[in-house]
């Protein structure tokens, strides 16, 4: 009988792909201490790690997922990276399987403190390669701007960061917040988003849809989503992109129908030490659709054939 961590929703048992099942079984939670202003508290943070003992001299990799998502979106990328590097990933507060039942507010500042606390507590306080997908890219940029000495390499996967505010922000007040989150919970809506996220619709399998929706069953999913969205998200970053000092790899699917493709060149033009890599026949999620090439770029800067 397949067993999973007891904090995961029951629908985890609907996973059918061996890679998804193995990944879900490896998810853990740990209390991460946070300091934000004069507040000190802890967040029970969901994470996965894969330690490559013989490569401890190489920077560890930390992966940050996108909006209304979870670490499950890295299930295909992890094996490609873990073959040669130590890899960590966390569910950002307000998302995934991280506990948000006793949290009074969720903001980029709190998320940044969570990332820092995880780096201190779990990652051994080594400078790292920081990888962010979509909204996770914006979180990675925010962290790299605040702690440049901790980020040896920044990788942006079809990243957010230039938009001024989340589109749904104006709806995230009662009673409209209930309507907005119920809209996002709709299986039809989520399937539509999944079909737009991939260039190849064959990736939208029942297992993939289960991975993409599993976190919706977590306690306070809708409340957490509403709190983060009301904060304004990462709309403050666009004027600070030129201050990024870390060498940056920008990986972008040519068929991105979620964020489009214009921001890819904008990132490359604005970030001084950056290189843009286009992935053909790829949509908004290169780490799911083209994990081999994505991993090669992260590890060596070479997409390969």
Domain ranges of the chain: 10-300
Q: Which CATH class is domain 10-300?
A: alpha beta
In SS3 terms, the chain reads as CCCCCCCCCHHHHHCCCHHHHHHHHCCEEEEEEEEECCEEEEEEEEEEEECCHHHCCCCCEEEECCCCCCHHHHCCHHHHHHCCCCEEEECCCCCCCCCCCCCCCCCHHHHHHHHHHHHHHCCCCCCEEEEEECHHHHHHHHHHHHCHHHEEEEEEECCCCCCCCCHHHHHCCCCHHHHHHHHHHCHHHHHHHHHHHCCCHHHCCHHHHHHHHHHHHCCCHHHHHHHHHHCCCCCCCHHHHHHCCCCEEEEEECCCCCCCCHHHHHHHHHCCCEEEEEECCCCCCHHHHCHHHHHHHHHHCCCCC
What is the reported pLDDT for 51? Answer: 87
What is the reported pLDDT for 104? Answer: 79
Please give the share of the chain, as a percent, with pLDDT higher than 90: 78
pLDDT tens for the chain, 305 residues long, are 689 999 999 999 999 999 999 999 999 999 999 989 888 999 999 999 998 766 567 899 999 999 999 999 999 999 999 999 999 999 999 999 999 988 878 999 999 999 999 999 999 899 999 999 999 999 999 999 999 999 999 999 999 999 876 554 444 445 445 656 677 788 898 999 999 999 999 999 999 999 999 999 999 998 898 889 888 899 999 999 999 999 999 999 999 999 999 999 999 999 999 999 999 999 999 999 999 999 999 998 767 66
């Amino acid at each position: 009988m397949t067993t999973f961590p007891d904090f995961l929703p029951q629908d985890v048992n609907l996973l059918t792909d061996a890679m998804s099942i193995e990944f879900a079984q490896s998810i853990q939670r740990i209390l991460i201490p946070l300091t934000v202003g004069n507040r000190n508290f802890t967040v029970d943070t969901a994470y996965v790690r894969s330690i490559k003992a013989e490569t401890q001299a190489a920077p560890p990799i930390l992966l940050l997922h996108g909006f209304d998502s979870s670490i499950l979106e890295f299930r295909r990328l992890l094996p490609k990276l873990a073959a040669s590097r130590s890899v960590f990933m966390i569910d950002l507060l307000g998302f995934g399987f991280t506990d948000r039942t006793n949290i009074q507010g969720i903001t980029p500042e709190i998320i940044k403190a969570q990332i820092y606390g995880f780096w201190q507590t779990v990652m051994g306080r080594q400078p790292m390669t920081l990888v962010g997908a979509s909204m996770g890219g914006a979180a990675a940029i925010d962290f790299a701007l605040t702690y440049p000495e901790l980020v040896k390499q920044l990788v942006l996967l079809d990243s957010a960061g230039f938009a001024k505010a989340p589109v749904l922000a104006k709806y995230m007040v009662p009673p409209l917040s209930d309507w907005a989150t119920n809209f996002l919970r709709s299986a039809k809506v989520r399937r539509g988003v999944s079909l737009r996220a991939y260039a190849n619709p064959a990736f939208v399998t029942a297992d993939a849809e289960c991975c993409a929706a599993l976190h919706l069953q977590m306690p306070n999913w809708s409340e957490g989503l509403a709190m983060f969205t009301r904060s304004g998200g990462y709309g403050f970053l666009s004027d600070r992109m030129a201050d990024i000092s870390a060498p940056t790899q920008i990986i972008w699917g040519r068929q991105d129908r979620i964020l489009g493709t214009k921001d890819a060149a904008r990132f490359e033009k604005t970030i001084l030490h950056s290189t843009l890599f286009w992935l053909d026949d790829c949509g908004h999620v290169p780490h799911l659709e083209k994990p081999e090439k994505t991993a090669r770029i992260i590890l060596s800067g070479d997409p390969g054939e």
